[in-house]
Chains A and B, each alone.
Chain A
Amino acid sequence: MTAEKSGADILVEALSDLGVEVVFGYPGGAVLPIYDAIFKQKRIKHILVRHEQAATHAAEGYARSTGKPGVVLVTSGPGATNAVTGITDALMDSIPMVVITGQVATHLIGSDAFQEADTIGITRHCTKHNYLVKSPERLGEVIHEAFHIATSGRPGPVVIDIPKDVQVATAKYRKPAAIQHKTYRPALKAEQSLIEAAVEMLAAAERPIFYTGGGVINSGPAAAQLLRELAKITGAPVTSTLMGLGAFPASSDQWLGMLGMHGTYEANFAMNQADLIIALGSRFDDRVTGRLDAFAPHAKKIHIDIDRSSVNKTVAVDLPIIADVGRAMEDMIRVWKARQHRKNDLSAWWSRIEGWRAKKCLDFPASAKEIMPQQAIRSLWEATKHVNPIITTEVGQHQMWAAQHFHFEQPNKWLTSGGLGTMGYGLPAAIGAQLGNPNALVIDIAGEASIQMNIQELGTATQYRLPVKLFILNNEYMGMVRQWQQLTYSSRYSESYSDALPDFVKLAEAYGWTGIRIEGQQELEPGIRQMLDTPGPVLVDCRVAKLANCFPMIPSGASHTEMILQSDDVSGEMDDEAKALV
């Protein structure tokens, strides 16, 4: 007979049974029993962050870079509400995450007790699922089910709210057998007839394009390999969303770069002119489609996605296939080969694409003195590409420049907040990624505004001796806001100047980091070298041109073919329809 254990011990044992190695958290009154159980064991490592939001982003960074679920432990009330931004971020970007929140004792629920919040109510619509566990007997089963839901199908965050008395009360725990949920059964395998139809459409297409997304990365490293093979046997060009970067190697001739609002000219024009779009684990986000009624007007569309609600949500498709994208690609390759299809002659299509490529849309104006932010990213890439670094970002211009100018060869190397666009994501995500990949080079490419949203996490990296590198493109503006104000509101820079900035080098030193300032062209490459050669965590305050804009760009409410390039005159005022769209 197994002895009874406290809810807190059941939690720790269940996490251990599930293979959890790292938990990101912050203690507080309603989770003290759990922290005591953690104190008494050695299997699970707890990483103490400085703010609960950072715990969630660190868990996301860990999950995105390792493929394993990220686990978060926070207290009730403010602990839980602080975690909400990261939980929502994980929902939008389909990141597997389990968040354990403490709750006041069951008899106090609803009494406005100290540090009580309706965590289940607050997180109901920003989680894939959530649980309030009212008895320790249910706890083990709920934890296993929560991990199953978070990691299978379209991954996402799951919250488990555990009242303090349930953490103390005892029950028996036995590791459950494989979970067969009574209602939750994500479809994994596509119907054969649909796969065959997709292959025939692909074989007949004259101007096909693969439009891939984060789903290819979520499907696992094998899916990225299958994408390479599918591209190879069909000869079709490949573009990707922000979330999907790395699934297809940027060094390939077939790679067109990212598409969408700040995507390349060739990717957006190819989408506009294609006769067949094969959407793989991507969701036709508004940042990708631009104006919907002008989106890909000539193309038939195949959409392979594991989430049926992603299909026909904003763009009507001709052939929806609900399946795991890796499995579907595997099936497509098999059918393609079995039917002895050969690569279509796509030379006319490719010659048009070459014409668009010749625009060299990512070129930017040179400056003799100032560092152009695009140049800073390119130099960082040149200096680090041989080690395949993991790159995280914050949100804004620097994020788009990184997506455009840093090139990825492998999946799970690019961690960014896509759907929610959360400033403050990058530093904690880098911490999580470094923990999951102790030997990797992890760099957070940041802006001076975003980084201040979770700057306190410098302390976390110091405490755990994590050698993350923080590369701040400092232009003294919330650059993307300023750019939009220049384009849309006649350069009325309302509240977008980053005034009263700290001395980032001194700040780094205060936290036990090395701080480096890079000013002027001649310091760029030596500064990057110094950052890479310095052991331990390093912050770089890279002063860049203040008013540089991120181009190319599809302005608000415009179509793929109405891209603004670097050379275009952009300042002005937009009409109300355009202002309302974004």
Chain B
Amino acid sequence: MHIKEEKKERHTLAVIVDNEAGVLARIAGLFTARGYNIESLTVTDISDDDLISRITIVTSASAPVMDQIIAQLERLVPVHKVVDLTILGPHVERELALVKVAGTGDHRIEALRLAEVYRARVVDATISSFVFEVTGTSDKIDKFVELMGEVGLVEVARTGIVAISRGKEAA
């Protein structure tokens, strides 16, 4: 006997929650307990008074499972609202990465040149290394990191995706 996989689509969710102890564990635990996957998760407080947080979750699921994920999230007591940005329409997704590259000579020059192409900023430099800050879609960052692999990549730190809808309305 073999276990069958079903077809999945990638969705980006914005989840607005009360900024209370354990809320992240509640949400992350819901995903593991019900067998949903998390590709990326970012969370931070977004209000002046530290009371509200915005969690951006990227997940992959079939359409009915996606509907379940949203219903299950909405059922949690500290959740204010859940928005499926992928379904809602056009939206902007961004991720920030810090990329450390070490090297000398041609590699160093090539790294700087590529950084310029990708609009990465140098935020730290030594005689034999750079730290680049690069922002963009995950694809762009993937590609930049891949290229840096050729010229002395040492370490990468990524924020995960944040997203917001286009246009004047709040989601």
Contact = CB atoms under 8 A, between A and B. Distances in A.
Contacts of A307: 75
Contacts of A181: 77
B166 interface: no
A316 B65 CA distance: 11
B29 interface: yes
Interface string A111-140: 000000000110011001100100000000
B32 to A, nearest CB: 9
Nearest to B71: A309
A308 B75 contact: yes
Given A120-B22, A125-B29, A125-B33, A309 B80 contact: no
Contacts of A132: 21-22
Nearest to B74: A308
Given A183-B79, A184-B77, A312-B64, A124 B21 contact: no
Given A183-B79, A183-B80, A577-B1, A312 B68 contact: yes
Contacts of B67: 312
A149 B29 CA distance: 20
Contacts of A576: 1
Interface in A526-582: 576-577, 580
A425 to B, nearest CB: 23
A182 interface: yes
B18 A311 contact: no
A121 B25 contact: yes
Contacts of B26: 124
Contact of B18 (A124, A182, A308): A182
A277 to B, nearest CB: 18
Contact of A129 (B1, B29, B72, B77): B77
Nearest to A184: B77
Q: How large is the interface on A (under 10, 10 to 19, 20 to 34, 35 or more residues)?
A: 20 to 34
Contact of A124 (B29, B64, B79): B29
Contacts of A312: 64, 67-68
Interface string B55-88: 0000000001001100110110111100000000
Contact of A125 (B30, B64, B75, B77): B30
Interface string A291-323: 000000000000000011101110010000000
B75 A183 contact: no
A120 B75 CA distance: 18
Given A121-B25, A124-B22, A183-B18, A149 B68 contact: no
Contact of B78 (A183, A316, A580): A183
Contacts of A309: 68, 71-72, 74-75
A103 to B, nearest CB: 14
A299 to B, nearest CB: 18
Interface string B1-35: 10000000000000000100110011001100100
Contact of B77 (A149, A311, A313, A580): A149
A129 B78 CA distance: 9
B52 to A, nearest CB: 10
A183 B33 CA distance: 23
A316 B64 contact: yes
A53 to B, nearest CB: 21
B39 to A, nearest CB: 21
A312 B70 CA distance: 12
A18 B103 CA distance: 70
Nearest to A130: B22
Interface string B30-45: 1001000000000000
B115 to A, nearest CB: 43
A494 B131 CA distance: 63
A311 B1 CA distance: 30
Contacts of A580: 1
Contacts of B29: 124-125
A282 B18 CA distance: 31
B68 A124 contact: no
Contacts of A129: 77
A313 B25 contact: no
A312 B79 CA distance: 21
B71 A311 contact: yes
Contacts of B64: 312, 316
A176 to B, nearest CB: 17
Contacts of B30: 125
Given A124-B25, A124-B29, A125-B29, A183 B68 contact: no
A15 B101 CA distance: 62
A181 B77 CA distance: 9
A416 to B, nearest CB: 25
A313 B36 CA distance: 14
A124 B67 CA distance: 22
Contacts of A182: 18, 80
Contacts of A311: 71
Residue with the highest number of chain B CB atoms closer than 10 Å, among A149, A308, A311: A308
B50 to A, nearest CB: 15
Contacts of B77: 128-129, 149, 181, 183-184
Given A129-B77, A132-B22, A311-B71, 8 more contacts: A121-B22, A124-B26, A125-B30, A132-B21, A149-B77, A308-B74, A309-B74, A312-B68
19 contacts: A121-B25, A124-B22, A124-B26, A125-B30, A128-B77, A129-B77, A132-B22, A181-B77, A182-B80, A183-B18, A183-B77, A184-B77, A308-B75, A309-B68, A309-B71, A309-B74, A313-B71, A316-B64, A577-B1
Instruction: List 10 tightest A-B contacts by C-beta distance, closest first.
Output: A309-B71, A576-B1, A129-B77, A308-B71, A184-B77, A125-B33, A309-B72, A183-B80, A309-B75, A125-B29
